[in-house]
Amino acid sequence: MELNPVFARRLYLALLVNKIERPNVPKLIECTGWPRRTIQDVLKALPGIGIELTFIQDGKRHNDGYYQLCDWGPFDQDWVSDRQALIENTLFT
C-alpha cells in the first residue's frame, strides 16, 4: 500500500499532536526535522481533511501554547495509529 506523501504528512502530524505532550511548533519541528513553515502549513491544512485542532493559549505571548487534537473527523484514530510505520516509511525513506 502506498500513501500520497502530502496526505501522509498530514496524518503523521495529527498523530504527533495527539501523542506528544503539549505539542507546539518548536516541539513538532524537533520531532520531524521539518521547517517551521512546513509544520505551520500542515497544521493549517488539517481542517481541510476533517481533522479539528484547537490552540490552547498557555502564556503571556500571542503564540505561547500548544495544539490539541479535538476530532479525527472521518478518520479512525486506531486505523491511523496502526499504519504509523507505513506513514513514516512514506515520509522518511
Sign of CA dihedral 63, 68, 71, 74: positive
Per-residue pLDDT of the chain (93 residues; tens, 9 = 90+): 789 999 999 999 999 999 999 999 999 999 999 999 999 999 999 999 999 999 999 877 777 899 999 999 999 999 999 999 999 999 998
Would you identify the CATH topology of the domain 5-87?
Arc Repressor Mutant, subunit A (1.10.10)
Residue corresponding to grid cell 521547517: 35
Residue corresponding to grid cell 515520509: 91
Predicted TM-score (pTM) of the model is 0.92
- 4 in helix, strand or coil? coil
- Give 56's DSSP letter: E
Angle of the 5-19 helix axis to the 25-32 helix axis, nearest 10: 120
